[in-house]
Amino acid sequence: MLFTSYEFIAFLICVIILYYVLPSRYQWKLLLAASYVFYFVSGWKNCFFILLTTGSTYFLARRIDGLHREQAAYIKEHKKELSKEERKRYKEKIKSRQWRLLLTGLFLNFGVLAVLKYSNFAIANLNFGLSLLGSQRQIGFLSLLLPLGISFYTFITMGYLIDVYRGKYPAEPCIGKLALFVSFFPQLIQGPISRFDQMKETLFSEHSFDSREVSFGLERILWGFFKKLVIADRILTGVTTIIQQPETYNGIYVFVGMMFYALQLYADFTGGIDITIGIAQTLGIKVQENFIRPYFSKNIAEYWRRWHITLGTWFTEYIFYPVSVCQPMLRFSRFCRKHLGDYAGKRMPVYVASLAVWFTTGIWHGASWNFVVWGLLNGIIIILSQECEPLYARFHARFHVAQKRWYAGFQVIRTVLLMSSLRMLDCYRDVPLTFRMFGDMFLHSRVSQLFDGRFMSLGLTVSDYIVLIVGTLILLGASLAGRSGSLREKLASKPAPVRYALLYSLFLCTLLIGAYGVGYDSSQFIYNQF
């Protein structure tokens, strides 16, 4: 059931009506049932994996939490008779047991994800290695299907398990509520990667009908549909044509495809997140924002603080910090200080941890080398940018351009172009081809190529281009207006005729000029594949 399908819309309407008709104490149970119905429809065999993840996480978290409470009770009871050394040994013993439980959960759940998502990638690389050694033997690929949302719910549950291990909050005693947190259907397809302590405040609470919250949620859903159907699915045709025919669409068309894809990805991904947050808001549930106008970022580090925020936060908290302060890294830091100086000793562990994060980010996005290279290039550029900060400071001190509006515009354009260039690895999905097309874009681009007939053979009509231009301007205008406060709040302050006229116009645009496939069935969201 795609978010933009008729079946899902009918399903959502039924859920919202039942949610507010049933006694409020049954609301979270209705959502749990609805979430599993949604997941069952996507493929009943996939239910085994989400049940395995939920069940193992529940029992391991409860046991880890039980050891926390057991330790606190034991120390309190024997406080007077225990020496400091005995108390330390007892805590280490409990910590060791908790660590083993945590590792069991991590290996089990990340192991399932690795087998399902990366087995064929590993086999392909092994076959390549065998061929380089002159062996004729080739290992057959596995017929494995990736369950819907497995990357998202695995990260959600493992973040929860680690937090319980760290004692950040107690384990959830009700397995049904944990199951709802893991399977909550609006965020199951493409996130955001929610945190249990943030979401539980509203996910399990009783909610009465609030017309303002429901209307705000429906407006957010409508905005997401507009982005997805009017912009992302329309420009998809042009992106696909350029990518699939690199020999025909070369030169300046590589740049065109690169920018088309930047628009498509933004409209598709943020549109899906808008729908997710909007659905949750109609139910009185708060889901964390995942984008904050990323295309207004002035550098790549800022961009990643604004784009897919929950994923970046997850990697920072659960990979970057643990890696950068672990014992092997501390020994590596001391080694660097001794042989390379204090500066290298201070910075090298940070860079190793950063590259570990970006390698993981890349491989999370897809089991292929183009995503690995994409992730590492992001990390390398950020590291180089950090190393060049003294040069930037001297440049700004000399030319005093930091406060100039034109320079801020230059920084934004530079960041968009840089990120779009890196995303070519996502477009072409082949590392050598990507670099060849990137070079071709610089070496063989001519403006006259736009008028040789190929531009109008991308599968887009004049009407499509007009809709895309207007839609992009609407996106830009909404982003600019949103910088000074919530756009929906501003809209709510307008007179009713103005408000309803704008919303009805947006609804008609989405309904009448949305890009639909055969049978009025829209395409999948890009992040469904993860």
Angstrom distance (rounded) from CA 210 to CA 318: 37
pLDDT in tens, 477-528: 999 988 888 888 888 888 888 889 999 999 998 888 887 654 444 555 555 5
String of DSSP letters for 471-516: HHHHHHHHHHHHTTS-HHHHHHTS-HHHHHHHHHHHHHHHHHH---
Whole-structure pTM value: 0.91
**Helices 405-422 and 369-387, interaxial angle, to 10°?**
150
215 Cβ contact partners less than 8 Å away, ≥ 6 residues apart: none
Q: Is the pLDDT of residue 325 over 60?
A: yes
Quote the tokens at residue 155: 């990260």
pLDDT in tens, 269-321: 999 999 999 999 999 999 999 999 999 999 999 999 999 999 999 999 999 99
Angstrom distance (rounded) from CA 382 to CA 369: 20
Measure the N-to-C terminal CA separation of the chain; round to a whole number of Å.
16
Helix (H, G, I), strand (E, B) or coil at 81: coil
Residue 274: closest CA among 204, 155, 187: 187
Least confident of 3-7, 62-66, 284-288, 419-423: 3-7
444: DSSP letter:
S
User: pLDDT-based confidence at 83, cuts 50/70/90?
Assistant: confident
Residue type, 158: M
pLDDT in tens, 93-125: 999 999 999 999 999 999 999 999 999 999 999
